[in-house]
Amino acid sequence: MTTRTSSSFKTTPDICDDFETTVRVVDPSLGFANFGGKKHFGGQAVTVKCFEDNSKVKELAKSLDGRNKVMVVDGGGSRRRALLGDLVAGDCVQQGWEGLVIFGSIRDVDEIGQLDLGVQALGTHPQKTEKRNEGQVNVPIRFGGVTIHPGDYVVCDNNGIVVNETDPRERIE
């Protein structure tokens, strides 16, 4: 039986079953957790590589149409600064982003939990980043044993995070 939630994507276990030869699963031992108001989300990856500086995250949140997109942020796994807070998350909602996956920390979790936005991150930290305008956008990134390329499909739910090169909604059975 195929299970669906409010997302247009199947659940991550169903995607793993349907795409077992192509799906890549982010290592669950990293401890990603859902913090956003949307617990099941997916879309095409827009990647950001940054370290303790969310300048590029903030820029994309304000300027890019995020419909059907997931911002995937490689923060190097740092838990010493928050790469997302309520103001940037609010900008993401305004621009229609499906969600964010942050290999790092976030803050303002109570506010973010009320937004119609998916957010998975490693944890929380109350301190914001310094703005040095550093980072790279739309480059391949790697964490949790998975390389994520811009345009890959990323789907997240309480079961985990999966990545597939093609749209997992378009499986022909």
Residues annotated within the binding site for substrate are: 85-88, 107
Query: What's the average model confidence in pLDDT over 31-38?
Result: 97
In the predicted model, is pLDDT for residue 173 greater than 60? no
- Residue 171: pLDDT band (50, 70, 90) is low
Residues tagged in the binding site annotation: 85-88, 107-108
> What global pTM score does this model have?
0.94
Per-residue pLDDT tens over the stretch 73-100: 999 999 999 999 999 999 999 999 999 9
Q: Please give the CATH topology (third level) of the domain spanning 30-165.
A: Glucose Oxidase; domain 1 (3.50.30)
d(CA 42, CA 3): 15
What ranges do the domains of the chain cover? 30-165
Binding residues for Mg(2+): 108
- Give Cα separations from 7 to 127, 132, 156 (angstroms): 31, 35, 10
Helix (H, G, I), strand (E, B) or coil at 157: strand
Cβ contacts of residue 73 below 8 Å, gap of 6+? 47, 48, 49, 50, 54, 57, 83, 84, 100, 101, 102, 103, 104
Residue 37's pLDDT is what?
97
